[in-house]
Amino acid sequence: MPNFFDEVNKTFDEATTFTDYPTGLLDQIRCCNSVYRIDFPLRRKDGTIEVIHAWRAEHSHHKLPVKGGIRYSPEVYEEEVMALAALMTYKCAIVDVPFGGAKGGIKIEPGNYSVDELERITRRYTHELVKKRFIGPGIDVPAPDYGTGEREMAWMADTYAALNPGQLDAMGCVTGKPVTQGGVRGRREATGRGLFFALREACAQPDEMARLGLSPGLEGKRIVVQGLGNVGYHAAKFCREGGALIIAIAEREGAILSAAGLDEEAVFQHRKQTGSILGFPGATDLPDTAAALELDCDVLLPAALEGVFTAENAPRIKARVILEGANGPTTPEADPVFREKGIMVIPDIYCNAGGVTVSYFEWLKNLSHVRFGRLSKRHEQANELQMLKAIEGATGKRFSDTERAAMAKGPDEADLVNSGLEETMISAFQDLLATRRAHPRIPDLRIAAFVNAIHKVARSYMELGIFP
Ligand code: NAD
């Protein structure tokens, strides 16, 4: 059976047929530069000792530091971590984030460990990375992924700082930290917000929407979301606020359906209180969670794990757009089925890049040691007020206090981060469309995305030359 790394490389190989780089160079781009496998002991709270298995893979050193999340899941295996690291290389290239790709994983089900045990696992893992120089603000910068969040990133940053006393840029060793620990405003929501920008941009293309039999614009689009974690929750929130309807949400234990639309926060609170998504007031239960993927909808948003769409279920997918929040939800066997059915797949290596984009902003903030907007906010506000006064003078009319406050506020950190993310997602989508349109034989946006990534990484390797 092909593993996830083989699957990523299969798509990579298809994309190389639209380039003319030497085979050796393409081989160098495709392979995973370093893989570090770690086994270490954990003393459980009952006194027994358990061996924990973990990995960190650095796919491409063509730009440093390398960057990518840390996943906690019982399903983690070496080739999966390598595949996710490879996707990070291509993702960073597509959105012009100047990092190579990396990924880490610890093979645990977090729910089976106490908070104290999770902290000791995270700190020991970080220590192992420090020992082999697999972490550092200029070397390798982890971030959250499936099963991890701000809490784990704070533990990692603290461990790294403790082992590197006096290192000025130590907090740049990891991103996705709490704002109080050097994190940046907007990082928590960034992947979901980026998915919203990607979908909004796709829906704004009248010709693309006409081809799919959809009206232009996000307004009224019916969306099914799989996975109400960080990515799924925030993507659902921004899409709903942008006018879309979340008609179904699928979680591990089942799915719920409501044609009138679901509020992700109410569903999240219901699941927190009852322990299950099922039984949400006003919604219909679907005990078979996988069945939610096959519902009649406009947009399907997988935001859980990879390998969701296979040759088996792809023919039954009714969505017109698949927005890949998760990494690798579509297997290479499902892609041709989606092409055949005329489904627009907005590929993971583009559309879920909001997280790494804002992680880049967080890293820049850590290196500059100052909050975005701190130096310029009041200066810009003063300029805006001057402009308003000039308009008032010229027109003889006065703005209300509310209008004045809205037009002359000066950008703060969240405004600047969200604006940088919006610009990144819009321009990268236009690049993908331009590549697909320039080469009529390129079958979809995924191959267009890989082609764009290969061009950028290849150019970098050719300019760098080969050492020694
Ligand atoms: P998360 O742990 O916060 O959420 C994942 C959710 O999926 C959980 O609520 C889990 O219960 C649910 N889930 C698991 N199995 C399921 C199933 N079979 N059906 C339905 N739901 C299921 O993780 P996340 O950070 O939201 O990451 C989700 C995906 O997005 C992963 O593929 C990850 O690699 C990718 N991703 C995450 C980020 C990020 O910034 N966190 C960035 C880019 C890509």
Tens digits of per-residue pLDDT, 346-391? Answer: 999 999 999 999 999 999 999 999 999 999 999 999 999 999 999 9
Ligand 1 contacts CB of residue 330 (under 6 A):
no
Ligand 1 contacts CB of residue 228 (under 6 A):
yes
Which residue lies with its CA nearest to atom 23 of ligand 1? 146
Looking at the CA of residue 229, tell me the nearest atom of ligand 1: 4
Helix, strand, or coil (residue 239)? helix
What DSSP assignment string belongs to 157-199? HHHHHHHSTT-TTGGGG-SS--GGGT--TTHHHHHHHHHHHHH
Q: What is the pLDDT of residues 140-196, one digit of tens each?
A: 999 999 999 999 999 999 999 999 999 999 999 999 999 999 999 999 999 999 999
Q: What pLDDT is stored for residue 426 in this prediction?
A: 98
Q: Which residues contact 319 (CB under 8 A, 6 or more apart)?
A: 224, 297, 298, 299, 300, 343
- Which ranges constitute the DSSP H helices of 18-76? 23-30
466: phi then psi, degrees, rounded to nearest 5: -120, 130
| Choice from 226, 231, 251, 308 to test ligand 1 binding pocket (greatest atom count within 8 A of CB) | 231
Helix (H) / strand (E) element for 360: namely: helix 354-368
Ligand 1 contacts CB of residue 292 (under 6 A):
no
Q: What pLDDT is stored for residue 173 in this prediction?
A: 98
Active site residues: 103
Report the alpha-carbon distance of residue 67 to residue 140 in Å, rounded. Answer: 6
Looking at the CA of residue 148, tell me the nearest atom of ligand 1: 2
pLDDT along the chain (468 residues), means of 10: 89 97 97 98 97 98 98 97 98 98 98 98 98 98 96 98 98 98 96 98 98 97 98 98 98 98 98 98 97 98 96 98 96 96 98 98 98 97 97 97 94 97 98 95 97 98 92
Q: What pLDDT is stored for residue 348 in this prediction?
A: 97
Ligand 1 contacts CB of residue 194 (under 6 A):
no
157 Cα to the center of ligand 1, angstroms: 23
C-alpha dihedral (295, 299, 301, 306), degrees to nearest 10: 80
The 8-class DSSP code of residue 134 comes to: -
Looking at the CA of residue 255, tell me the nearest atom of ligand 1: 20
Ligand 1 contacts CB of residue 302 (under 6 A):
no
Ligand 1 contacts CB of residue 354 (under 6 A):
no
| Choice from 99, 196, 251, 306 to test ligand 1 binding pocket (greatest atom count within 8 A of CB) | 251
Helix, strand, or coil (residue 217)? coil
249 Cα to the center of ligand 1, angstroms: 13
Looking at the CA of residue 143, tell me the nearest atom of ligand 1: 40
Report the alpha-carbon distance of residue 346 to residue 321 in Å, rounded. Answer: 7
Crossing angle of helices 445-464/4-16, nearest 10°? 80
- Nearest 5 degrees, angle CA 271-CA 273-CA 274? 65
Ligand 1 contacts CB of residue 145 (under 6 A):
yes
| Choice from 108, 146, 188 to test ligand 1 binding pocket (greatest atom count within 8 A of CB) | 146
191 Cα to the center of ligand 1, angstroms: 11
Q: What pLDDT is stored for residue 1 in this prediction?
A: 61
> End-to-end CA distance of the chain, in Å?
38
- 8 Å CB contact between 65 and 141: yes
Report the alpha-carbon distance of residue 176 to residue 181 in Å, rounded. Answer: 10
Closest to 121 measured CA to CA, from 65, 49, 58: 49
Cα separations in angstroms, 359 against 143, 173, 184, 266: 8, 11, 8, 28
Q: Which residues contact 465 (CB under 8 A, 6 or more apart)?
A: none
**Amino acid in position 285:** D
Ligand 1 contacts CB of residue 227 (under 6 A):
yes
Which residue lies with its CA nearest to atom 40 of ligand 1? 355
Looking at the CA of residue 308, tell me the nearest atom of ligand 1: 18
- 8 Å CB contact between 184 and 374: no
Ligand 1 contacts CB of residue 7 (under 6 A):
no
Q: Which residues contact 280 (CB under 8 A, 6 or more apart)?
A: 256, 258, 262, 266, 267, 270
